Amino acid sequence: MTRVLVIDDEPSILRALRINLTARNYEVSTASDGASGLAAVSRERPDVLILDLGLPDMDGTEVIHGVRGWSSTPIIVLSVWGQEEQKVAALDAGADDYVTKPFGMDELLARLRAAVRRSAPAPDEPVVATPDFTVDLAAKRVTRGGDGDIRLTPTEWQLLEVLVRNRGRLVTQRQLLQEVWGPAYGSESNYLRVYVAQLRRKLEPEPSRPRYLLTEPGMGYRFRA
């Protein structure tokens, strides 16, 4: 039986979720603020977390960081309409999905199922090949066509790894900074510029005209396979 922990300060929502989820055979427990929510997470080890971003005692992203520090339990975030940056911050902090309030129970249930399904061990394809080079995520190695390996510094590798893991997808600058440099960073985009340039110099056949490490001005970077 899947265990769900709901962290929300509105009693009506807690009640509605408890009723609906219990009816669907989930095991539901609740908390009404961030502090007791974090305590409940470490105590009960739920399979999924439903977290309202508008808690009275602490910011939603803080709660997410508090969980993500030691657990990868999927987190579905509830937020009111129009708070884009809050949602983005939550996703950057490690939330898995979000639902805007007011929400339909069907939608929430669908996202819940999806989150649980996804949290199953990821069938990783650890080798990504392009016409010009190959990235082996498991072995942490990059090889280029004719010649042998390419030496990457730790930071270069981490950056490349995040981009390759999200291949095809656009990765926000904030997301990159936080994954590579840590949660305290988010606006130091000059770091990215320097390291992306270094990666391009080492990997791209024509560094000034990138084919794989693409820039999306104002948004972030994207690895094209």
Partner DNA sequence: CCTGGGCGTTAAGGATGTGTCAAGAACGTC
Partner DNA sequence: GACGTTCTTGACACATCCTTAACGCCCAGG
- Residue 162 touching DNA (CB under 7 A): no
Question: Which CB atom, from 201 or from 219, has the smaller least distance to its own copies?
Answer: 219
Min dist. Cβ of residue 73 to DNA (A)? 28
CA atoms within 13 A on the CB side of 155: 12
Tally of CB atoms within 10 A around 198: 16
- Residue 154 touching DNA (CB under 7 A): yes
Query: Tokens 């280029």, residue?
Result: 144
Q: Over the range 170-195, which residues count as b (16 or more CB within 10 Å of their CB) and which as e?
A: ebbbbbbbbbbbeeebbeeeebbeeb
The span from the CA of 53 to the CA of 59, in Å, is 7
- The site partner of 156 among DNA, its own copies, none (C-beta below 5 to 8 Å per kind) is DNA
Min dist. Cβ of residue 207 to its own copies (A)? 20
What x-and-dash track marks residues 45-84 binding its own copies by CB under 8 A? -----------------------xxxxxx--------x-x
- Residue 215 touching DNA (CB under 7 A): yes
- Residue 147 touching its own copies (CB under 8 A): no
CB 63 within 8 A of CB 38: yes
Which residues here bind DNA, judged by CB under 7 A?
151, 153-156, 173, 181, 188-198, 200-201, 207-208, 215-219
